[in-house]
Amino acid sequence: MKYLGVDVGGTKVSAALLADGKMSEPRVEPTRKGTAEELVDQLAGTIEALRDGETRAVGVGIPSAVEFATGTAKSGVNVPLEGVPLRNLLTERLSLPVFVDNDANVAALAEAHEGGRLTTHNLVMFTVGTGVGGGLVLDGRLFRGATGAGAEMGHILIGLDLSRGAPPPAERFPQPGSLEALAAGTALDRLAREAARENPAGGLGRACAAGEEISGEDVVRLARDGDEEALDLLRVVGERLGIGIASAINLFDPEEVVIGGGVATGGELLLEPAEQTARGYVLTGVGERTRIRLARHGVRAGVYGAALLAVQEAVR
């Protein structure tokens, strides 16, 4: 049997077949974001082009919280799918079982597998990019909560001042003090720009003076070259992430906590302060078997996890 995985991103759609634990070379094309109808047509066409007589089911990962029963996106920030019952539409159109889930969920499912086999039964995933997403694999299956919107790890509150009680919530998310507000790529971007202003003689300051647009990518690049200022900024973000990881370990006592996403390109320079901080805030006796690591599947996690979603749901 073959299972087809489709990873829908804000810039590209990637699709591949999974057979006997091995993925085919992904087919990648730009995401058509003009209208919902245009994107649904693109996904249906991609699936039709790759499916064959042995294809049993399709999994689709999208960048949104999902109402799982109908595969309906609850938001549409990066792709025009809000309110679209994607699972129902594609299943009816293709006469093939289709399952739709959040992209961080399917990435977590990918990280729980290796060589097509489930190797980790309890796993927490943090995807640290422009925002912070998350996924939970509990007892070998994805955990979605009551409505399919569970595991929004980026909205764990890690830095609120509660000395005078709870402050009024902000009108928009991410909330101040949340993991996403403090540890996402956008937070690293802000730290980089602040450092460039405050220290014009530093590596970031010189890059800014040369007319470059400073971002977290510059921080990672300079940190790899040993720049002390950049190393310190990665430490700050890593330690903030570590507080969120500690909360996840205290809640779930997982076998693994996995860090993926663009900020994870900082590698050990991010992982080391994150793990050291997390270990300090984990309750004694909890997390004794928890491994904290970087994601291993990289950019293919989305399409691989989407195919695994099809496997899990089709055989239920």
Asked if residue 145 is part of any domain, the answer here is no
Asked if residue 130 is part of any domain, the answer here is no
Both 99 and 114 in a single domain? yes
Both 67 and 185 in a single domain? no
With pLDDT > 70 as the criterion, what percentage of the chain qualifies?
99
pLDDT tens digits along 13-32: 999 999 888 888 899 999 99
Both 105 and 175 in a single domain? no
Q: Which domain, by its residues, includes 307?
A: 2-119+298-314
Asked if residue 124 is part of any domain, the answer here is no
Both 290 and 303 in a single domain? no
- CA dist., res. 233 & res. 279, Å (int): 20
pLDDT at 130: 81
Both 160 and 178 in a single domain? yes
pLDDT tens digits along 207-244: 888 888 889 999 999 999 999 999 999 999 999 999 99
> Whole-structure pTM over 0.85, yes or no?
yes
- Give the domain CATH number at 62: 3.30.420.40
Taking 80 as the threshold, does the pLDDT of residue 299 lie above it?
no
In total, how many domains does the chain have?
Answer: 2
Both 25 and 55 in a single domain? yes
Taking 80 as the threshold, does the pLDDT of residue 316 lie above it?
no
pLDDT at 76: 67
- CA dist., res. 200 & res. 238, Å (int): 24
Both 304 and 286 in a single domain? no
Cβ neighbors of 31 (< 8 A, separation 6 or more) are: 8, 9, 10, 11, 12, 13, 39, 42, 79
Return mean pLDDT, the chain: 92
Both 290 and 302 in a single domain? no
Both 191 and 85 in a single domain? no
Both 107 and 179 in a single domain? no
Taking 90 as the threshold, does the pLDDT of residue 3 lie above it?
yes
pLDDT tens digits along 109-161: 999 998 778 999 999 999 998 889 899 999 999 998 888 888 889 999 999 99
Taking 90 as the threshold, does the pLDDT of residue 9 lie above it?
no
* Cβ pair 143, 150 in contact under 8 A: yes
pLDDT at 231: 96
pLDDT, average across residues 297-307: 89
pLDDT tens digits along 76-107: 667 888 899 999 999 999 999 999 999 899 99
Both 165 and 287 in a single domain? yes
- CA distances in angstroms from 286 to 80, 151, 254, 290, 293, listed in the order given: 42, 20, 9, 9, 17
